Amino acid sequence: MIVSKTPLRASFFGGGTDFHDYFHNSKYGYGSVISTGINMYVYIIINKRFDDKIRLVYYGNELVDNVDEIKHNIIREALKITGITSGIEILYLADLPMTNLGVGLASSSALAVGVLNALHAYKGEFVSREQLAKEAIDIEINRLHQQIGIQDQYAVSFGGFNRYIFKSNDEVIIKPIDLKPSVKKKFFDNLMLFYTGIPRDSRKIFEEQKKTTKNRSEILDELVVTTDLVIDYLEKEKFDEIGKLFDNTWKIKKQFASGVTNEEIDKMYSLAMAAGAFGGKILGAGGGGFLLLYVPKLKQGSVKEALTDYTQVVFTFDDDGSKIVYND
């Protein structure tokens, strides 16, 4: 039996600059994203079957005779990449509701990375985190033709609090944000996360965003510059200034596609800002899922009261990335 554990992620700044259409043509020669792995996880359990069938258990159930019959597209393609064709059971669990709609925490990429990690371990293979990220990108973008960027696969594979630089030659540079643990905790203590209660299909939002990428290169350039500024503020512990940058980049993000925000999200954001938040953003494509807010400690009680109709999720950072936690 093999068990893999893969963190979800919260993307703070630079989302959109990780699309190939942007960083291949960026005037800076790269895209740049700041994100962190968080202590919410996707678990993959793999066991050998007594027969040659393939059984999958997730929010649905499948029992098939061959790989091509599998309906779950990510697991099907992961099996093809690793060359496993029969006699296996795969169970998918997560620390958040599992549906075919996303919530903005990179759950589909965490699934892709987690199942690849587990399948390689099942075969007795050790693969690097970079290879896991690249194989997950191959599944989601090349094989399944999803109109997405490439930050999520790296963020959930590597974990940690990092800046990712996506160069025009397709090189990816991972730069850990090196803060003292006490300083990092101080920053994260100013973050609050609320579930909007709105599931959303990110595919339509990303498709519209991808179509407008070339026309919005100047806006995306501004997001790249913002990541430089965030690093400077983190090093100088100017956390409240980062909170204000969240507000500025949220205004930019709303220009990406028509479905990024809606009346309910705007209401939540307005309530939080009136109660003392400095800024925030919807994680992922937008349209629903989770609202991340920067709120100074003294104002967090007021913001929680203002958003009492919504579920708060307490979280912290994950440093480990995807890993095998059981192998027997």
Chain segment 142-183, per-residue pLDDT in tens: 999 998 999 999 999 999 999 999 999 999 999 999 999 999
Q: Are residues 207 and 298 in the same domain?
A: yes
Do 168 and 248 share a domain, yes or no?
no
Question: What's phi and psi for 248, nearest 5 deg?
Answer: -65, -45
Contact predicate 167/173, CB 8 Å: yes
Torsion angle of the four alpha carbons 28, 34, 37, 40, in this order, in degrees rounded to the nearest 10:
-120
Q: Do 227 and 173 reside in the same domain of the chain?
A: no
Residue at a domain's end among 125, 160, 178: 178
Residues 49 and 96 both lie in one domain: yes
Domain shared by 172 and 189, yes or no: no
Q: Which of 178, 211, 240 is the last residue of a domain?
A: 178
Q: Provide mean pLDDT across the span 68-72.
A: 96
87: left (phi over 0), alpha (psi -120 to 50) or beta: left
The CATH number of the domain holding residue 283 is 3.30.70.890
Together in a domain, 134 and 225 = no
Q: Is 128 contained in some domain?
A: yes
Assess whether 309 and 277 both reside in one domain: yes
Q: What percent of the chain has pLDDT over 70?
A: 91
Q: Domain total for the chain? A: 2
62 phi/psi in degrees, rounded to 5: -140, 140
Looking at the predicted structure, is the pLDDT value of residue 19 above 90?
Answer: yes
> Are both 152 and 252 inside the same structural domain?
no
Once rounded to an integer, what is the mean pLDDT over residues 60-70? 96
pLDDT of 268: 94
Residue 328 domain flag: no
103-147 pLDDT, tens digit each: 789 999 999 999 999 999 999 999 999 999 999 999 999 999 998
Give residues with Cβ within 8 angstroms of 301, minimum separation 6: none
Q: Which helix (H) or strand (E) holds 30?
A: strand 30-48
Helices (H), the chain: 20-23, 73-82, 107-122, 129-137, 151-158, 181-188, 202-211, 217-235, 239-253, 263-275, 300-306
Instruction: Output the pLDDT for position 138.
Output: 98
Instruction: Place 201 in a pLDDT band, splitting at 50, 70 and 90.
Output: low
Domain range holding 231? 181-317
What's the confidence (pLDDT) of residue 284? 81
Domain boundary, last residue among 121, 146, 178 = 178
Q: Whole-prediction pTM value? A: 0.93
